[in-house]
Amino acid sequence: MQYLILACVGLAIAIAGGVYLCRLLYLKKYGVATKAEVIGVREAPPRKGKPSGAYIHTMRYSVSGKSYEEDDKAGYSEPMKEGSTHIILCDPKGPKRFKFEKDLQSHITIAAVFSAMALIFAARFLYEYMK
C-alpha cells in the first residue's frame, strides 16, 4: 500500500510540474516581449529573523499602449541597477504577470527535468506495487 501512496505522490508532483511547464511554454510562444526599466530596488523581507538575501525590483513597462509598474518575482540575489532595461515576456491576457526573457529557457528546462524525474519516481513505485 505504501508503494501506491508514493506513486500517487509522484504523479501529483508530475502533474503540478506539467501545469507549470505548460504555463511557461504558453508564455514563451504567446508572450508579449517588451523592454522594462528598473525603477526601484528593495531587499525582500527577512524570514525567521535572517536576512532574505534576495531583491525585489519594481519594473516599468508598457504593453498595448498601457503602462504598468509591477514588482518582479524572480528573487535575484544581486540587485539590478536602477535605470537599466531588460527584456521581459508578459502574459497577453494579464500583462501584470511577466518573466525575464533570459530566465525563461532555464525555467522550462528545469520544470521539464523535474516533471520527468517525478514520472520516473511514480513509475518505479507503481511497478513495485504491481509486482
Total count of domains within the chain: 1
Apex 126 CA angle, 123 and 127, nearest 5: 85
Averaged pLDDT for residues 107-120: 97
Q: How many CA atoms within 13 Å lie on the side-chain side of 20?
A: 16
Q: Is the pLDDT of residue 125 over 90?
A: yes
- The grid cell for 88 is 521581459
How far apart, in whole angstroms, are the C-alpha atoms of residue 86 and residue 27? 17
What pLDDT, in 10s, does the model give residues 23-77?
999 999 999 999 999 999 998 888 787 788 899 999 999 998 899 999 998 889 8
Under a CB-based contact definition with an 8 Å cutoff, are residues 54 and 76 in contact? yes
Q: Is the pLDDT of residue 16 over 80?
A: yes
Domain hosting 11: range is: 2-130
Question: What SS3 class is residue 49?
Answer: coil
Could you tell me which of 106, 41, 34, 52 has the C-alpha nearest to residue 80?
A: 41
What DSSP letter does each residue of 63-109 carry, written as one string?
A: ETTEEEEEE----BSSPPPTT-EEEEEE-SS-TT-EEEHHHHHHHHH
Query: What is the reported pLDDT for 51?
Result: 80
Q: Which residue has the higher pLDDT, 12 or 131?
A: 12
Averaged pLDDT for residues 3-9: 95
